[in-house]
Amino acid sequence: MRAISYRAKARMRKGMKIFLSVAAILLLALILFAVYLDRFVVYTPEGVHLDFDRNTSRDVVIPTESTEKSTLPEDVTIEFADPDPNGQETALVSGYYIDLEMLQDPAAVLAAVQELSPPCTVLIDLKGGNGSFYYTSSIDGARQAAIDVETVDEVISYLRSHGFTMVARIRTFQDTHFAEEHINCALRKSGGSLWVGDGFYWMDPANATVMAYLKQIIRELAEKGFKEIVLDDFRFPSGTQIVYTSEKSRTELIAGIAEELLNFFASSNITISFGNPAADFALSGASHVYVSGVTGSGVTAAVKGYTLLEDVSTQLIFLTGSKDRRFDDYQVLRPLVSTGQ
């Protein structure tokens, strides 16, 4: 076998170094390009795609007058009588719920509502995780859902004029539309792109503008006659690589937000409640915790899970269509309209 000369070996080593250097540069370029593209990734219910026209600025200025309104419309009746939320009594709840799936056919919902006999409680979803409002909203930039919103307005008007106990439920921090319009108010990944969870972009719970936005929605719903507002999916997402604007832990942050909202509306006749919060969520006073997605076999575990509630028997409310007898000992709202499931 012919021996390889020293000079040939030197050329081979040099060639290998050049090859490795070029490969490393190409790999680095590929990583940087992927990071660059990440900011243009858009998640929708139909899938994932790139949108090179979307605004990726981190310095979006939000007008103060559109997010921090401190006055209510003149025709809102809000009583300020008891500044201590612990001094209010928690009302027992029974009745029906109207979710977003039912609202795809608002006429059927209106017909079903007109068959009800008050008094009873009716909970209705009015803002989804994509940020769409299912009623006519006057909030600047509000996007209406692609349904017959005027008929939903009729449902609300009927409930109000016939003495029903009206409860509105809104997705709290899931809001794709608001996050896209106000990038600096959204949760982001460490690379700068918007973080997505459950198919939606999330607002940053620690952002002051987000809090002002939520308060504005609550005020508007109060103006429409709702006495209780349920902040659904009230939690900080557990995903990794999330960047948010607070030094508090996620648990501390959510607890602080709940306290701020309860204190802000404590002296009014509006009850702030929470939907599907973490099991370690503590709550006292007149507020409720609304829980959905629980089967009959999971009732006991769900009740035991909320050990920090002041009074589980009056504060915990299940939303279920199940006829399982294990729900009978607790407060339950049933679906108003069958969706065929």
Per-residue pLDDT at 201 exceeds 90: yes
C-alpha to C-alpha distance for 169 and 98, rounded to whole angstroms? 10
What is the rounded CA–CA span in Å between residue 131 and residue 128? 5
Determine if residue 198 is left, alpha or beta; phi over 0 gives left, psi from -120 to 50 gives alpha, anything else beta: left
Task: Map out the domains of the chain as residue ranges.
Answer: 63-335
φ, ψ dihedrals at 46, nearest 5° = -85, -15
Q: Which tokens go with 136? A: 């006519």
- Residue 82 has a pLDDT of 36
Give the CA distances from residue 283 to residues 112, 144, 249, 301, in Å, rounded to whole numbers and listed in that order. 33, 33, 19, 18
Quote the pLDDT of residue 273.
96
pLDDT for 155-169, tens place per residue? 999 999 999 999 999
Share above pLDDT 70 across residues of the chain, in percent, rounded to a whole number: 78
Q: Per-residue pLDDT averaged across 203-215, rounded?
A: 95
pTM: 0.75
Q: What is the pLDDT of residue 242?
A: 92
| CB of 301 closer than 8 Å to CB of 318 | no
pLDDT tens by residue, 26-52: 777 676 565 455 545 443 434 444 555
Instruction: Judge: domain 63-335, CATH 3.40.309.10.
Output: no
Q: Label residue 55 by pLDDT band (50, 70, 90).
A: very low
At residue 44, the pLDDT reads: 41
**Residue 72 pLDDT level (bands cut at 50, 70, 90):** very low
- pLDDT over threshold 60, residue 67: no
Q: pLDDT tens, 287-307? A: 999 999 999 999 999 999 988
Give yes or no for residue 323 having a pLDDT over 60: yes
Q: Which is it for strands 316-319 and 331-335: parallel, antiparallel or unpaired?
A: parallel
* CA–CA distance, 278 with 221 (Å, rounded to integer): 25
Bridge partners (DSSP) of residue 274 are 231, 289
Calculate the average pLDDT of the chain: 82
What is the Cα 112 distance to its own chain's centre? 27
